[in-house]
Structure 1
Amino acid sequence: MNEVLKKISGIGIVPVIKIEDIENAVPLAKALIDGGLPIAEITFRAAGADKAIKAIKEAFPQMVVGAGTVLTIDQVKAAKDAGAEFIVSPGFNPKTVAYCNEIGMPITPGCTTASEIELAIEMGLEVVKFFPAEQSGGLDKIKSLAGPFANMKFIPTGGIDLKNLSTYLSFDKIIACGGSFMVKEEFIKNKEWDKITALSRQAVDIMLGFEIAHVGINAANEEEALSVANMFGMLFNMLVKNGNSSIFAGTAVEVMKAPFLGKNGHIGIKTYSIPRAKAHLESRGIKFNENSVKLDAKGKIAAIYLEQEIAGFAVHLAQK
């Protein structure tokens, strides 16, 4: 997959923005970054979209910025000159797609039918926009299309909000969801940057779904581990289960039979998507121990440890 599309997949949510006043571009971008969404799709539905793209990229070079509602080759040229890194169009225009391919610009055209997806595949695309998502059959329609087109990925946009965001993102053929619920026109017009940040953070929280999976306790040996696990089991009516390298008391307490990672032990944090959680944490400067990766039977990441310890505990992400 294209590197820009990989970044979009890691972020998981694409704010779709109409900016009428260029002065709002930079503070809006900061509000999104503060909310954990360093990405923006600036639509050409408003005049001066290219100026907004340029202003954001100059202020925040690390932000992934693209152009939306792109209908013509001239708009592609204007977006590229302004610093746009990806193009989104509401429908499938072969001329626009061909031009983007020619200049190496990632484009996700709107496709809601099998015929449109076949055209996209013929033109070498790996990801398409599914728009308008809810009105075109929603997740059920995407799953139906994903059957015969197993290698195609989707970015659904239209009718997606905090209520159905996690449902869409639970399907592994969806790399991200587009939406404007956190960047409504009235929020931008009224300069409600705090509200945009709060809604963005709420969306990220829903998408990642962080929660404690278990706490691991380091014991000196198997005898001590069994004693500790039995104590938790007796006190809190937890079922004790002896495993190869550890003993569980219920599902929340794991006692290691020999010292493992972390001075005191480890803490597992469950998330809906380890790759997205990893990308979001890395964007905040967190480093991971790549040698700690554990894969599941399908070859996907099942767990990975952070490099740093917290209060003497190693911390790892675990797939829900």
Structure 2
Amino acid sequence: MAHDRMAVLTAMMDQGVIPVFYHPDAEVCRKVIQACADGGAKCIEFTNRGDFAAQVFLDVARHFAKADPSVIMGVGSIVDAPTAGIYIANGAKFVVGPLLNPDVAKVCNRRKIPYSPGCGSMSEIGFAEELGCEIVKVFPGGSVGGPEFVKSVLGPCPWSRIMPTGGVDASEASLRAWFSAGVVCVGIGSNLITKELLVAQDYKGIETKVRDTIALIRSIRGK
């Protein structure tokens, strides 16, 4: 299944929550990502951490290209253009970073890949948008001002599309605060795919938690 730039952006916003996950074992990654997809989260952010993470990503991306082409594999924790290029060559359909790097934006734009850089100020968000970023990551979300920061940005810049990561959990109180502030989606890591679920290898539990989180977000949005 082809996932062009607009389709990926639409899927991210419609989904509402992007599971953020990394594990050095490709088999564990496949099971977790399939659980997320079965729960309704087809867009998953694989974080670039650990030795040979790009090889793990390639193995997992190849698997889903055959087993479930509806899965949209993205990569996170990207800070430089060469690394972005490796992951794009390995099948990444969107790129996320903890910081803003114009060289990464150029690589992604050349390949029509959405890039969501981490920004912590209005100036950074504005610069990211000038570089063609449609959905800007606010990171770390809880440290730069939380939902009130988002409200402050969207006041003068209502066209901005913001995805906070860090300081977001799967509770109704947290999600309601962020979405009421105007975010288009959120990134959640260990608060969604918890250590307890992973240790227990409870992939059905992960699926249920993802499904419930998406349903909660749709309820908050009034959908």
TM over 0.5: yes
> Residue 163 of structure 2 aligns with which residue?
155
Cα gap change, 1:102 to 1:79, in 2 (>3 Å): same
Cα gap change, 1:203 to 1:176, in 2 (>3 Å): same
Cα gap change, 1:141 to 1:106, in 2 (>3 Å): same
- Post-superposition shift, 1:6? 1.0
Range moving further from structure 2, 194-203 or 44-53? 44-53
- Say which of 7, 11, 15 aligns to 2:15: 11
1:158-179 CA-partner distances (Å, limit 9, x unpaired): 121122113212344x221100
More helix by share: 2
> Residue 112 of structure 1 aligns with which residue?
120
| Paired amino acid for 1:81 | A
> Residue 75 of structure 1 aligns with which residue?
83
Q: Secondary structure of 1:197's match?
A: helix
> Residue 221 of structure 2 aligns with which residue?
272
Give yes or no for the alignment of 1:175 onto 2:179.
Answer: no
Distance (whole Å) between structure 2 residues aligned to residue 23 and residue 151 of structure 1: 40
- Post-superposition shift, 1:190? 4.2
- Post-superposition shift, 1:66? 0.2
Give yes or no for the alignment of 1:195 onto 2:144.
Answer: no
| Paired amino acid for 1:14 | I
| Paired amino acid for 1:141 | F
CA contact (8 A) 1:126 1:151 kept: no
Q: Secondary structure of 2:167's match?
A: coil
Range moving further from structure 2, 190-199 or 71-80? 190-199
Give yes or no for the alignment of 1:29 onto 2:33.
Answer: yes
Q: Secondary structure of 1:65's match?
A: strand
CA contact (8 A) 1:53 1:66 kept: no
| Paired amino acid for 1:175 | V
Q: Which has the higher contact order (CA 8 A, sep 6+)?
A: 2
- Say which of 82, 85, 89 aligns to 2:93: 85
- Say which of 145, 153, 157 aligns to 2:153: 145
Distance (whole Å) between structure 1 residues aligned to residue 176 and residue 73 of structure 2: 23
Q: Secondary structure of 2:119's match?
A: coil
Equivalences for 1:1-320 in 2 at 5 Å?
Answer: 2-54=6-58, 55-56=60-61, 57-58=64-65, 59-163=67-171, 164-172=174-182, 174-180=183-189, 181-185=191-195, 187-209=197-219, 272-274=221-223
Range moving further from structure 2, 142-151 or 152-161? 142-151
Unaligned runs of 5+ in 1: 210-270, 275-320
- Post-superposition shift, 1:98? 2.1
> Residue 216 of structure 1 aligns with which residue?
none
Q: Secondary structure of 2:166's match?
A: coil
1:248-269 CA-partner distances (Å, limit 9, x unpaired): xxxxxxxxxxxxxxxxxxxxxx
| Paired amino acid for 2:57 | I
CA contact (8 A) 1:158 1:178 kept: yes
Distance (whole Å) between structure 2 residues aligned to residue 167 and residue 64 of structure 1: 27
| Paired amino acid for 2:17 | I
1:72-120 CA-partner distances (Å, limit 9, x unpaired): 2121122112211000000111221222222222100011102112211
Distance (whole Å) between structure 2 residues aligned to residue 48 and residue 40 of structure 1: 19
Structure 2 length normalisation: TM-score? 0.86
C-alpha root-mean-square deviation of aligned residues, in Å?
Answer: 1.9
CA contact (8 A) 1:146 1:152 kept: yes
Cα gap change, 1:65 to 1:202, in 2 (>3 Å): same
Cα gap change, 1:43 to 1:75, in 2 (>3 Å): same
Count of aligned residue pairs for this structure pair: 212
